[in-house]
Homo-oligomer: A and B are copies of this chain.
Amino acid sequence: MRASELAALVGGTLHGSDRSIQGVAPAHTAGPDQLAFATRGTPGAAGVLLARETAPDRTVVVVDDPRLAFAVALQTLFPSVHPPGVQPGAFVHPSAALGAGVAVYPGAYVGPGCILGDRVVIHPNAVLYPGVIVGPDTVVHAGAVLGADGFAYAAGPQGPVKMPQLGGLRVGARVEVGTNTCVDRGALADTVLADDCKLDDLVLVGHNCQLERAVLLAGQVGLAGSTQVGAGVIIGGQAGTTEHTEVGAGARIAAGAGLHKPVPPGATVMGRPARPAGEARRMWALVRRLPDLWSELKALRRRVEALEASV
């Protein structure tokens, strides 16, 4: 690809010579023919850089959103290729229905009645329990497990009695499920991951959770049963929810937060238990000032004692 082609691809403006792009590298190590990424130090406000930033003959493509342009450029330069078909060592139940171009890697298991849309990729050793429905262009990474039973027991006289998990799991299009992530099927109704949701590694999504479009769950997030997450929500790593929590569209949940009540749309919350970010930061600052509070109190007591002695 030439720099001019890149500029056309990402809707940017080319500055410098129209050189050929031979690869990609971090900005501080990129050679004269390698694509690099930078957001400053460019002639414009932001740019996707060609060649080392400090090179006198650098070639620059200036764009509005360099991160997005870089992603698009890399997808074009390094397309993801998966051999279509069921590879030896994979298990696909005869009753499963696979769309065009589906790739199932060795060791993966696709249970009875599963339906996989076009170009779905199932990486090695991922498991789809019976009846899971997966939309087109979705990627399930190695070791992920979709559609296992949710965690539900009734207290019985001889011990916990399992509540059969009879619902399904529907996963939308262009979803990405990280390695060893677990998404459980519903109890009666379905668990749902809408289009464009992205789940990092070791995430847990409990039964009957409903994730609307383009929700991002970072690593080790745990959503308890029936959590509802609005479109575009981003949840940081190791955060968790209690059952039936509602998270409004566009909310931002900080890493490690613990949610146990509704989060309004667009809110940013942090801490465990979670609070609005500003309030949480003020609380932490006040906790750090507790020694000052004691000092002030003692100083005031001394002044009161002095007054008492003088009256």
Residues of A within 8 A of B (CB): 24-26, 29, 65, 67-68, 70-72, 74-75, 78, 80, 88-89, 91, 105-107, 109, 111, 123-125, 127, 129, 141-143, 145, 148-149, 151, 153-156, 158-164, 166, 174, 176, 178-180, 182, 184, 188-189, 195-196, 198, 200-202, 204, 206, 213-214, 216, 218-220, 222, 224, 236-238, 240, 242, 255-256, 258, 260, 272-273, 282-284, 286-288, 290-291, 293-294, 296-297, 300-301, 303-304, 307-308, 310-311
Give the contacting residue for A65; candidates B154, B164, B272; CB below 8 A. B154
Chain B residues near A300: list those with CB within 8 A: 297, 300-301, 304
Identity of the chain B residue whose Cβ is nearest the Cβ of A195 in the assembled complex: B159
B105 pairs with A214, CB closer than 8 A = no
A178 pairs with B188, CB closer than 8 A = no
A75 pairs with B164, CB closer than 8 A = yes
Cα–Cα distance between A129 and B125 once the two chains are bound (Å) = 12
Cα–Cα distance between A180 and B67 once the two chains are bound (Å) = 31
A71 pairs with B224, CB closer than 8 A = no
Chain B residues near A308: list those with CB within 8 A: 303, 307
Give the contacting residue for A294; candidates B29, B161, B188, B286; CB below 8 A. B286
* Nearest chain B CB to A28 CB, angstrom units: 10
B242 pairs with A163, CB closer than 8 A = no
Give the contacting residue for A162; candidates B75, B237, B238; CB below 8 A. B75
Chain B residues near A153: list those with CB within 8 A: 71, 198, 216
